């Protein structure tokens, strides 16, 4: 079977230069529980000071490294060529922190499946990166399952680091590796500012971004519940009859990343509001397959809809 048709698991490691990615991957490939003879393509998109030591791997001949030095080398054809050369069954990918994740996704061969995503961060430089390259930081945090803050000092404020991660994702696990060798996992609770256990959930204007992220991360939590919130109506020719979009613009980190974040709503055709109009809606949420999601997602069955003035801050944020 050609490599563009096989299902190839990809273990993706993110972080900026000298953030600890190479050290962790080296230790992982030394572990027989992970590296028990599987043919592995070690794909390195960023070479730092630390180097890989293949002599320490249980079956070193089954791990073959390829290096991508320039972003224009990150093509589907080049990746397929590497897979064919190595006959790899999986990919361990050390990604370049200065490249956007979408650069990878747009060029991944069919069949490559992201199996795990971890982000490594040098705690001593993180605040500087976050202040000056916020969009690149958010890009990495958006999809990571685990963030590892290494070189963490006892004098550092855990709450400050926690808040930045939670401003992007509520699902991501956070680990702090202290300079004295201690390891601690983040257990700070982040209660939502609305009652998710209520049968009827009312979303305040200032809480829309948090609610939208939460329902898209865990839609089944809201299945069968009634929701009330304010949003902008939108529609185009791709929407089925009696369907429209309801949502708001959300800014994650900066003006450049503002996006219209919406859910599918449905009601009688004559009740669909005008394009780009602000409305207050009450709806019952049903999680189901829908063509606009290309899979399952929350579909809002409108029970009440009325014109509304815009909120005080039209662009929603997480802060």
Strands 8-14, 146-152: parallel, antiparallel or unpaired by DSSP? unpaired
Q: What is the pLDDT of residues 229-278, one digit of tens each?
A: 999 999 998 899 999 999 999 987 667 778 999 999 999 999 999 999 99
Among 59-63, 169-173, 278-282, the range with the most confident prediction by mean pLDDT is 278-282
Whether the pLDDT of residue 5 is over 60: the answer is no
Q: What is the pLDDT of residues 133-164, one digit of tens each?
A: 988 999 999 889 999 999 999 999 999 999 89
Question: Residue 192 in 3-state DSSP?
Answer: coil
DSSP element (H, E) containing 184: strand 183-185
Distance from C-alpha of 159 to C-alpha of 49, rounded to nearest angstrom: 31
Question: Token digits for 15?
Answer: 């972080």
Cβ-contact 238, 304 below 8 angstroms: no
Contacts of 131 (CB under 8 A, 6+ apart): none
| CATH class, 8-185 region | alpha beta
Distance from C-alpha of 14 to C-alpha of 22, rounded to nearest angstrom: 10
Percent of the chain with pLDDT over 70: 97
DSSP element (H, E) containing 178: strand 173-178
What angle do helix axes 123-132 and 134-141 make, rounded to 10 degrees?
110
Long-range contacts of 67-72 (CB under 8 A, 24+ apart): 68/43, 68/44, 71/96, 71/99, 71/103
Residue span(s) of the chain under CATH 3.40.50.300 come to: 8-185
Contacts of 116 (CB under 8 A, 6+ apart): 11, 12, 145
Q: Look up residue 241 and give its DSSP letter.
A: T
Whether the pLDDT of residue 65 is over 60: the answer is yes
**Is domain 200-307 in CATH 2.40.50.140, yes or no?**
yes
Question: Token digits for 152?
Answer: 């963490």
Q: Which residues pair with 114 in a beta bridge?
A: 10
DSSP element (H, E) containing 289: strand 278-290
**Spatial CA neighbour of 124 closest among 14, 21, 20, 46:** 20
Question: Token digits for 302?
Answer: 């409108």
Whether the pLDDT of residue 301 is over 90: the answer is yes
Strands (E) in 74-123, as ranges, are 90-94, 112-122
Q: What is the pLDDT of residues 88-126, one digit of tens each?
A: 999 999 999 999 999 999 999 999 999 999 999 999 999
Mean pLDDT of the chain: 92
What is the per-residue pLDDT for 17? 87
What is the per-residue pLDDT for 254? 67
Among 39-53, 58-72, 187-201, 214-228, the range with the most confident prediction by mean pLDDT is 214-228
Average pLDDT over residues 63-72: 95
């Amino acid at each position: 079977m050609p490599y563009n048709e096989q299902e190839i698991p990809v273990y993706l490691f993110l972080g900026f230069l000298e953030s600890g990615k190479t050290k962790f991957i080296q230790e992982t490939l030394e572990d027989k529980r992970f590296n028990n003879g599987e043919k592995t393509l070690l794909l390195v998109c960023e070479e730092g000071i630390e180097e890989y030591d293949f002599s320490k791997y249980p079956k070193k001949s089954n791990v073959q490294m390829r290096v991508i030095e320039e972003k224009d080398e990150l093509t589907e054809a080049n990746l397929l060529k590497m897979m064919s050369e190595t006959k790899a069954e999986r990919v361990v990918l050390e990604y370049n922190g200065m490249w956007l994740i979408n650069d990878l996704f747009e060029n991944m061969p069919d069949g490559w499946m992201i199996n795990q995503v971890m982000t490594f961060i040098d705690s001593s430089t993180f605040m500087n990166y976050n202040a000056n390259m916020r969009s690149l930081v958010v890009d990495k945090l958006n999809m990571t399952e685990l963030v590892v803050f290494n070189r963490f000092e006892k004098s550092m404020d855990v709450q400050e680091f926690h808040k930045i991660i939670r401003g992007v994702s509520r699902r991501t696990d956070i680990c702090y590796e202290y300079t004295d060798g201690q390891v601690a996992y983040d257990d700070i609770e982040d209660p939502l500012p609305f009652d998710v256990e209520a049968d009827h959930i009312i979303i305040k204007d200032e809480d829309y971004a948090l609610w939208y992220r939460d329902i898209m991360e865990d839609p089944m939590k809201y299945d069968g519940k009634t929701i009330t919130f304010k949003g902008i109506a939108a529609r185009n020719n791709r929407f089925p009859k009696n369907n429209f979009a309801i949502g708001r613009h959300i800014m994650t980190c900066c003006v450049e990343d503002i996006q219209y974040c919406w859910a599918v709503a449905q009601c009688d055709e004559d009740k669909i509001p005008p394009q780009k109009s602000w409305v207050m809606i009450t709806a019952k949420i049903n999680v189901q397959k829908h063509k606009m999601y290309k899979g399952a997602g929350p579909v809002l069955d409108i029970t009440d809809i009325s014109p509304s003035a815009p909120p005080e801050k039209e662009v929603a944020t997480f802060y």
